[in-house]
């Protein structure tokens, strides 16, 4: 599962890292991103990358109620191609969710310890995501996203039995554009070509991250 993450770099760095055209929107550092909050995601548009602001928690285009998004913050990689909430977005609306760390809670004798998982160099990375456009009865549009999860790599396997699908940089274009067909075999082959990089590390942080109202540098400080 991935229920919290961080993105503290500025917009200029984000544009350079993901090869996006110039964006005028300011990007406020976020130390404790939680579901239902609005964050930038990278989408592919006719071979180019664009940055769009979307709400975390996927609301499928066919949903009658937007609150379904509260339950769809993650999509399991193993079943994403079959689930009605995700299968259409997987075929047509894939995105990259920029992050520089995500949080997980490890069970200990004293309770649960919050951990932040990052790259060893602390650089930003991309999470595999799906996005949707939903229209309410008044005609207003809502753009939302979810984050794919997969089995954990060796460095974080002791923490939790799931992790977000962290894309290798060379996989990012493949994730956005690499699906060439929509048959079960083609979709299955596409998914099998994705894997998270092994070079992730973790460190304990304050349980301030338990509360989404806490969003400051203390959230990422080593405990």
Active site residues: 2, 104
**Strand extents, DSSP E, 136-223:** 141-150, 163-164, 166-167, 201-204
Plot region of 19 (φ>0 → left; ψ -120 to 50 → alpha; else → beta): left
* Pair of tokens at residue 201: 């590390």
What is the number of other CB atoms lying within 10 angstroms of the CB of residue 98? 23
Q: Which residues have CB under 8 Å from 92's CB, separation 6+?
A: none
Q: Give the Cβ contact number of residue 18 at 10 Å.
A: 18
- Are 87 and 93 in contact by the 8 Å Cβ rule? The answer is no
Do residues 77 and 149 touch, judged by C-beta distance below 8 A? Answer: yes
Measured CA to CA, the distance from residue 57 to residue 18 in angstroms comes to 22
- Reading the block at residue 119, the tokens are 């790259």
Residue 58's H or E segment, with its range, is none
φ and ψ at residue 176, rounded to 5 degrees: -75, -40
């Amino acid at each position: 599962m991935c229920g919290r993450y961080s993105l503290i770099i500025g917009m200029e760095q984000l544009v350079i890292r993901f090869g996006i055209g110039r964006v005028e929107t300011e990007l406020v550092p976020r130390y404790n991103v939680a579901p239902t909050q609005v964050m930038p995601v990278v989408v592919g548009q006719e071979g180019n990358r664009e940055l769009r602001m979307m709400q975390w928690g996927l609301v499928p285009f066919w949903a009658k109620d937007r609150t379904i998004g509260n339950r769809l913050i993650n999509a399991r990689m193993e079943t994403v191609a079959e689930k009605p909430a995700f299968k259409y977005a997987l075929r047509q609306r894939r995105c990259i969710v920029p992050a520089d760390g995500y949080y997980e809670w490890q069970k200990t004798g004293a309770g649960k310890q919050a951990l932040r998982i990052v790259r060893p160099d602390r650089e930003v990375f991309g999470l595999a995501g799906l996005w949707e456009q939903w229209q309410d009865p008044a005609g207003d549009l809502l753009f939302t996203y979810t984050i794919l999860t997969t089995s954990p790599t060796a460095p974080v396997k002791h923490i939790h039995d799931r992790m977000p699908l962290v894309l290798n940089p060379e996989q990012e274009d493949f994730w956005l554009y690499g699906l060439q067909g929509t048959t079960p075999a083609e979709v299955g082959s596409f998914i099998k070509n994705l894997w998270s990089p092994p070079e992730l590390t973790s460190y304990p942080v304050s349980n301030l991250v338990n509360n989404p109202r806490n969003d400051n540098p203390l959230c990422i400080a080593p405990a």
